[in-house]
Amino acid sequence: MRDVIGHRRLLDRLGGHAVRGDVAHAYGIFGPRSIGKRTVALRLAQTLECETSTAGGCGTCLACRKVERGVHPDVRLVTRAGDRKLIGIEQIREMQQDLALRPLEGRRRVVIVDDASELDQGQDALLKTLEEPPDHAVLLLVTTTPAALHETILSRLQPLTLRLVPVAEIEEGLAARGIREASRFAAASAGRPGIAIALASGDGIRAERERVEAELYRLVGSGLTDRFAWAADLADESDPRRRADAIDLRLAHWSELLRDATVAARGELSRPLRPARLAETRRLATSVSADELLGATLLVERLRRDLGFNANARAMLELFALRLPYSQTMRAA
């Protein structure tokens, strides 16, 4: 199916059946978070409504676009409203009234319930529909925890269980979307395409950068015991490539932060490399000498070079832990 990363065999089979109109009245789409459950539900809905009868939907016809934007009159998403903890029973009743009517534009009426474990009393109400579904109805119950569904409900669902996706497939999927550094995001996603996509999007990158920046300030304010624990953690990654990537990511961010602080300590910072961190840069510059900051900056640059020659990661990180200047002020921050 179009634009779904992984689950190839299951989706090929499902898509093939759906195109021929061979669909069950109710499916349970199960699997861990960020694995692609909602996307699979949408693609199945598109398959059923698409004007060109393409497995996964063609993605370009009016019906496919309406489903994608959540405005197709025959495809309804039932989900927890706002800050409520559960899907309200009135939401199920309303859906059922709708479902009883013939489709307005498409061939079927499709209801996606996500997350179905949040139905609570809605489960009893839903059971009636599952027992006697209208001919044109297809229900897709999406959940991370199928065990929360009553046996009477579960037994009426055709299960589609999505499993963790091999990293190579995620990498391929990201690369096909034109995402650079696909292998890094794929590796970090631990088999969940949704996480890989979030990481690769701007938000993910910004969040990662902020996390790594904060890590330096925390280390500057930490004593040796904490610093060595940090070095051991980072060196612990057994995959040498992932370990090198994790270290390089930090050194790349930190070299800029330290350079800003060094220049600020000399009172010359007019164009910071990291303007968003100006407050921390100034605090660091007033609590550590310019010489010490320069030493740390040069050390980071040297370690980055050494990293390319497969240096002993742990020894490298411990050297960094020892030499990084200490600042009581950063500790308080």
Q: Where on the chain is the footprint of Zn ion (CB under 5 A)? A: 50, 57-58, 61, 64
CB 91 within 8 A of CB 81: yes
- Provide the minimum distance between the beta carbon of 48 and Zn ion in the complex, in angstroms, as a whole number: 10
Q: Toward Zn ion, which CB reaches closer, 55 or 200? A: 55
Enumerate the β-bridge partners of residue 27.
140, 158
Return d(Cα 302, Cα 43) in angstroms, integer: 50
Q: Toward Zn ion, which CB reaches closer, 59 or 134? A: 59
CB 296 within 8 A of CB 217: no
3-state secondary structure 233-244: HHHCCCCHHHHH
The helix, strand and coil proportions of the chain, stated in percent and rounded to the nearest 5, come to 60, 10, 35
Q: Could you tell me which residues come within 8 angstroms of residue 210 by beta carbon, excluding any fewer than 6 positions away?
A: none
- Provide the minimum distance between the beta carbon of 208 and Zn ion in the complex, in angstroms, as a whole number: 36
Q: Toward Zn ion, which CB reaches closer, 62 or 315? A: 62
Residue with tokens 């920046």: 213
- Give me the amino acid identity at 193: P
Torsion-angle region of 86 (φ positive above 0: left; ψ -120 to 50: alpha; else: beta): beta
Q: For the chain, give the longest Cα–Cα distance.
A: 78
- Provide the minimum distance between the beta carbon of 72 and Zn ion in the complex, in angstroms, as a whole number: 11
- Provide the minimum distance between the beta carbon of 118 and Zn ion in the complex, in angstroms, as a whole number: 30
Q: Toward Zn ion, which CB reaches closer, 50 or 220? A: 50
- 285 token code pair: 């510059």
Return d(Cα 212, Cα 250) in angstroms, integer: 6
- Provide the minimum distance between the beta carbon of 59 and Zn ion in the complex, in angstroms, as a whole number: 6
- 11 token code pair: 């989706």
Q: Toward Zn ion, which CB reaches closer, 56 or 272? A: 56
Q: Toward Zn ion, which CB reaches closer, 55 or 149? A: 55
Q: Which of 98, 52, 51 is nearest to 75 (CA)?
A: 98
Measured between alpha carbons, how far apart are the two ends of the chain, in Å?
A: 50
Q: Toward Zn ion, which CB reaches closer, 67 or 216? A: 67
- Provide the minimum distance between the beta carbon of 171 and Zn ion in the complex, in angstroms, as a whole number: 28
Q: Toward Zn ion, which CB reaches closer, 2 or 209? A: 2
- 176 burial via Cβ count (<10 Å: 0-12, 13-18, 19+): exposed
- Provide the minimum distance between the beta carbon of 51 and Zn ion in the complex, in angstroms, as a whole number: 5
Q: Toward Zn ion, which CB reaches closer, 64 or 137? A: 64
- Provide the minimum distance between the beta carbon of 308 and Zn ion in the complex, in angstroms, as a whole number: 49
- Provide the minimum distance between the beta carbon of 104 and Zn ion in the complex, in angstroms, as a whole number: 17
